[in-house]
Chains A and B, each alone.
Chain A
Amino acid sequence: MLSNRARLIVKTMVLTLLGAGVSAAIVGLIVLRGGFYNISATESHYPLIYTVFEEGLQYSIQNHAQDIEVPALGAPEQLLRGATVYAANCVQCHGGPGTAPSKHGMSMQPVPGPLVDADVNWETRELYWITRHGIKMSGMPAWEYHLSDSDIWAVVAFVSAMPAMSPQDFRGMTAPGAGVQSVPAAVQESAKESARAAHQGDQS
């Protein structure tokens, strides 16, 4: 049995926690229902909140994409197909080397990142996962039900090779009616390399 003294301590602790919980809930409700939070897309995120969300996003994608097998990438026909898919669906928000996003992409909050550095930030299988499943609350749509699997891999191959593209390469490959001769050898090699790197990652 607890002594009277111990009982008093436990009782005080429970009541204090309960009181703190209720006050926090009331304050939360006032902030929520008062509409004080500015939801506009011209108001920046708080840097700390942005950083925490972004870290959570990275860990989530690492975890969910870990079992994806990357096929061989980098055939010129595939890269050309990826360029077509990119020009139709991606460039509006992400832009490309020397190519601006559309107005609606530029003024989104959070802003869609450039993809010329995608290979630094993401593994190839993670790019596939992001393209296929999208990212909640970020504006990144899921393409699983709108693009075939081979088209998703084609656009992943194209994006993973983007660091090897000059502004001219990018414009040439995404131009309507572009042929395989518009795919530079360095771009093919870059896509092949990202697929190879993915396999070496699997073995180690």
Chain B
Amino acid sequence: MNRRYLPMLLTAVALAGCGSDRPPPGVQGDPERGKIALTQYACHSCHIVPSVAGSKVYVGRPLDDLDKRRYIAGKVPNTQDNLVRFIRDPQAVDPGTAMPTLGVSERDARDISAYLLSR
């Protein structure tokens, strides 16, 4: 059944940016909600975020390839749980980082990470 559904799944992933709200396997949360949530915590003021209108800004690194990264902030393995932890409290993962703690709730961080990992 995996074989049969794989092309469909890949199509769904490819369409994620076009309105489909199915996150890739193993990723929890609501990517569509996460895309809006990340603009409400000003992520795109410092990071270039795919499919979110914003300036060409390089204060933080672009977030277009998070699904391919091996490490978050060069410190911890790139799992969704670690990403959620980093979004909520970057200083705890990477002491001295210029990225501030933005008061992101658990649910919002989960959805934001789902969006970033759905690319």
Residues of A near any B CB (own CB < 8 A): 42, 44-47, 49-51, 54, 95, 97-101, 103, 105-107, 109, 111-114, 116-117, 166-167
Establish whether residues B59 and A117, one from each chain, have CB atoms under 8 Å apart when the complex forms.
Answer: yes
Establish whether residues B59 and A116, one from each chain, have CB atoms under 8 Å apart when the complex forms.
Answer: yes
B107 → A minimal CB distance (Å):
16
> Which residue in chain A gives the minimum CB-CB distance to B45?
A111
Contacts of B91 in A (CB 8 A): 98
Binary flags per residue of B34-59, CB closer than 8 Å to A gives 1, else 0: 00100111101110000011110111
Contacts of B77 in A (CB 8 A): none
Establish whether residues A99 and B100, one from each chain, have CB atoms under 8 Å apart when the complex forms.
Answer: yes
Give the CA-CA distance A51 to B42 in the complex, in Å.
Answer: 18
Establish whether residues B59 and A106, one from each chain, have CB atoms under 8 Å apart when the complex forms.
Answer: no
> Which residue in chain A gives the minimum CB-CB distance to B91?
A98
Q: How many residues of B contact A (CB 8 A)?
A: 24
Contacts of B46 in A (CB 8 A): 114
- By DSSP majority rule, is chain A's interface helix, strand, loop, or mixed? loop
Give the CA-CA distance A166 to B42 in the complex, in Å.
Answer: 21
Establish whether residues A113 and B53, one from each chain, have CB atoms under 8 Å apart when the complex forms.
Answer: no
> Which residue in chain B gives the minimum CB-CB distance to A42?
B36
Establish whether residues B39 and A109, one from each chain, have CB atoms under 8 Å apart when the complex forms.
Answer: yes
The answer to whether residues A44 and B39 also contact, given A106-B102, A114-B59 and a CB cut-off of 8 A, is yes
A39 → B minimal CB distance (Å):
15
Q: A98-B99, A111-B45 are in contact. List 17 more A-B contacts (CB 8 A).
A: A42-B36, A44-B52, A44-B53, A51-B53, A54-B55, A99-B100, A100-B100, A105-B42, A106-B41, A107-B40, A107-B41, A107-B42, A109-B39, A114-B59, A116-B98, A117-B57, A117-B58
Establish whether residues A45 and B53, one from each chain, have CB atoms under 8 Å apart when the complex forms.
Answer: yes
> What are 7 residue pairs bridging A and B, where the CB atoms are less than 8 Å apart in the complex?
A95-B100, A98-B100, A100-B103, A107-B42, A111-B39, A113-B55, A116-B59
Establish whether residues B42 and A111, one from each chain, have CB atoms under 8 Å apart when the complex forms.
Answer: yes
B20 in the interface, Cβ–Cβ < 8 Å?
Answer: no
B14 → A minimal CB distance (Å):
19
Give the CA-CA distance A54 to B55 in the complex, in Å.
Answer: 8
Establish whether residues A50 and B53, one from each chain, have CB atoms under 8 Å apart when the complex forms.
Answer: yes
User: A-B pairs with the 3 shortest C-beta distances?
Assistant: A100-B100, A50-B53, A106-B42
B97 in the interface, Cβ–Cβ < 8 Å?
Answer: yes
Establish whether residues A47 and B102, one from each chain, have CB atoms under 8 Å apart when the complex forms.
Answer: no
> Which residue in chain B gives the minimum CB-CB distance to A115?
B59
B96 in the interface, Cβ–Cβ < 8 Å?
Answer: yes
- Which of B42, B55, B96, B101 has the largest count of A CB atoms less than 10 A from its CB? B42
The answer to whether residues A113 and B57 also contact, given A42-B39, A44-B52 and a CB cut-off of 8 A, is yes
> Which residue in chain B gives the minimum CB-CB distance to A109?
B39
Establish whether residues A113 and B45, one from each chain, have CB atoms under 8 Å apart when the complex forms.
Answer: yes
